[in-house]
Homo-oligomer: A and B are copies of this chain.
């Protein structure tokens, strides 16, 4: 089975397992886990912030950020297809009481400065003020597009001119960095906080980093406790996490494999394939006369796994546990699947 459902499915490498075996640990609730402390220091360096915090999931990282940046009763501006809005169980209202206002970031899921300005709400007697702008890069729902750092800068500057802080859901910001051949820190120049995942393309078994100023991270640490995310000898996961930080440049392989997959699928039996910028390949099945669900069932029978994104959109995601040969085989199997299908 070639598993292209998500880059979260990667299994930890032998080296990572060894680091779990040997990591120096302590009670991180007391701040005494040296491996976690090292991970937090190095993660902050990687994304160019003062400090960072280990969190069990990207969802927790995003939700903590939303809560820490805002005051009770505000609004948050998000892209209308963003993960923080679509896939986090409505947490923005549940955890932080925020009213969501969506911006249409277009094909690439990045709001323009003008959109940020027009989405901004000035607090008055009837309206909650805007308390946060959240951006996403790479943008998952848009097919892993790697938004240009200048576009991130521009949207963030527009928010800052209105005294609105900016959070970046950078679950895959390292993929964006590789795609643009810049450091991940390039994306945070105008950003107040960023979350990025160790457990996706970087290959760690568990965990994400939330990064920002020292003051922000101090408040995030307390909020992590409220969420039940304050773990103990979590150096066992921080060890693999440290190794994950070395995997940034390796993401180029995933991108190349995505390109190969897309190329080999293009035009097959009516599939329409979006040209990938990173490690995500979106396949439109409508012209093939199939729903995404039917298409994925056929793929699964041929040993290839993907996920459904929309009625007629399937997603394949390349990652560390998938080689170029794997994606070539996958593409061939998908082709066979389609021609076997009664379409």
Check A22/B29 contact, CB under 8 A, given A205-B232, A226-B91. Answer: no
- Name the residue of chain B whose CB is nearest to the CB of A61: B228
**Identical copies of this chain, number:** 4
Across the interface, do A206 and B234 meet the contact criterion of CB distance under 8 Å? Answer: yes
With a cutoff of 8 Å between Cβ atoms, the chain B residues found around residue A141 in the complex are none
Minimum Cβ distance to chain B for residue A85 (Å): 8
With a cutoff of 8 Å between Cβ atoms, the chain B residues found around residue A8 in the complex are 27, 29, 232
Cβ of A291 within 8 Å of any chain B Cβ, yes or no, is: no
Number of interface residues of A (CB under 8 A): 74
Cβ of A92 within 8 Å of any chain B Cβ, yes or no, is: yes
With a cutoff of 8 Å between Cβ atoms, the chain B residues found around residue A93 in the complex are 92-93, 97-100
Q: Which of B62, B101, B206, B236 contacts A240 (CB 8 A)?
A: B236
A229 to B95, CA, bound (A): 14
A228 to B221, CA, bound (A): 14
Across the interface, do B90 and A128 meet the contact criterion of CB distance under 8 Å? Answer: yes
With a cutoff of 8 Å between Cβ atoms, the chain B residues found around residue A67 in the complex are 72
- Name the residue of chain B whose CB is nearest to the CB of A203: B233
A128 to B223, CA, bound (A): 11
Cβ of A102 within 8 Å of any chain B Cβ, yes or no, is: yes
Among the interface residues A5, A75, A88, A232, which one has the most CB atoms of the partner chain B within 10 A? A232
Cβ of A222 within 8 Å of any chain B Cβ, yes or no, is: yes
Which stretch in A51-59, A152-160, A175-183, A277-285 binds the other chain?
A51-59
Across the interface, do A60 and B232 meet the contact criterion of CB distance under 8 Å? Answer: no
Check A229/B18 contact, CB under 8 A, given A25-B12, A94-B73, A236-B237. Answer: no
Across the interface, do A228 and B21 meet the contact criterion of CB distance under 8 Å? Answer: no
Q: Which of B12, B30, B102, B229 contacts A57 (CB 8 A)?
A: B229
Q: How does the 8 Å CB contact mask read for A3-26 relative to B, with 1 for contact and 0 for none? A: 001101111100001101110011
Can you list 29 A-B pairs, Cβ within 8 angstroms, ordered by A?
A: A8-B29, A8-B232, A9-B26, A9-B27, A9-B232, A21-B21, A25-B205, A29-B125, A59-B225, A60-B228, A64-B228, A67-B72, A74-B90, A86-B126, A89-B128, A90-B127, A92-B99, A93-B100, A94-B226, A125-B225, A199-B232, A205-B234, A205-B235, A205-B236, A206-B231, A207-B231, A229-B229, A236-B237, A236-B240
Listed in ascending order, the chain A residues whose CB lies under 8 Å from chain B are 5-6, 8-12, 17-18, 20-22, 25-27, 29-30, 55-64, 67, 71-75, 85-95, 97-102, 125-128, 199, 205-207, 221-222, 225-237, 240
